């Protein structure tokens, strides 16, 4: 999957015009790329379109129009675009109550390393987590983690041949799985493997 370049982006003025329709398109696309893992965690599989939207939104929110600032955003978000042999995702731990969130984040240290994907009956794949920066502290984890799941050629071939895809998390204090993910999610993830 091609990385984003400056030429792929709209200027702030152009994006203001394009945003309503682009946002509708992206929100519809994201429905096929989000997997709830129990009541308090969600995995959002990223791709070029979701990252295009993220970059445009960051440029808009921060009013960034200088070439250097635009390049900084591209450098920050391009690593979340799959490379054809992997899936990349944002993993979110979500508790509405701030006190409960604080307590659970202190208990769920290392949860990002316990998220997994599986193609068919092949072995589970655990992620390379938070390559951009360390998000855990000794006494708590972050509520947002960036994950990369590297697949073997056998896994890629099986996914393309129609094998089911499952996703889960198996932390001692938080274990949930979706086995298999719905077909719309499976089909969307397979498109990342080109």
Per-residue pLDDT at 185: 98
63 contact partners, CB below 8 Å, separation of at least 6: 12
Contact (CB, 8 A) for 177 and 161? no
Tell me, what's the pLDDT at 136? 55
Q: Is the separation of the CB atoms in 119 and 158 below 8 Å?
A: yes
Predicted pLDDT of residue 131: 81
Any idea where the domains of the chain sit in the sequence? Answer: 1-30+48-81, 35-46+83-194
* 83 in Cβ contact with 47 (< 8 Å): no
pLDDT at 194: 84
Residues 155, 193: contact at Cβ < 8 Å? no
pLDDT of residue 150: 98
pLDDT value, residue 139: 84
35-46+83-194 CATH? 2.60.40
Q: What is the pLDDT of residues 107-120, one digit of tens each?
A: 999 999 999 999 99
For the chain, the first-to-last Cα distance in angstroms comes to 7
- pLDDT less than 70: residues of the chain: 132-137
Q: Where are the beta strands (DSSP E) in 37-192?
A: 41-46, 86-93, 115-119, 128-129, 144-150, 165-171, 174-178
pLDDT at 148: 97
């Amino acid at each position: 999957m091609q990385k984003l370049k400056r030429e792929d982006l709209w200027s702030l003025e152009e994006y203001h015009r394009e945003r309503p329709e682009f946002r509708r398109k992206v929100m519809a696309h994201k429905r096929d790329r989000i997997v709830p893992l129990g009541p308090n965690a969600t995995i959002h599989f990223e791709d070029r379109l979701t990252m295009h939207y993220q970059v445009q939104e960051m440029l808009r929110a921060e009013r960034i129009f200088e070439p250097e600032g635009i390049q900084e955003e591209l450098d920050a978000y391009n690593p979340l675009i799959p490379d054809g042999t992997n899936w990349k995702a944002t993993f979110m731990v979500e508790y509405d109550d701030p006190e409960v969130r604080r307590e659970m984040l202190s208990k769920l240290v290392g949860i990002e390393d316990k998220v997994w994907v599986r193609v068919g009956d092949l072995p589970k794949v655990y992620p390379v987590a938070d390559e951009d920066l360390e998000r855990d502290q000794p006494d708590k984890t972050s509520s947002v983690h960036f994950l990369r799941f590297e697949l073997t050629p056998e896994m890629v071939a099986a996914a393309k041949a129609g094998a089911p895809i499952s996703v889960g998390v198996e932390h001692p204090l938080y274990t949930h799985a979706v086995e298999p993910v719905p077909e719309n999610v499976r089909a969307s993830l397979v498109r990342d493997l080109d």
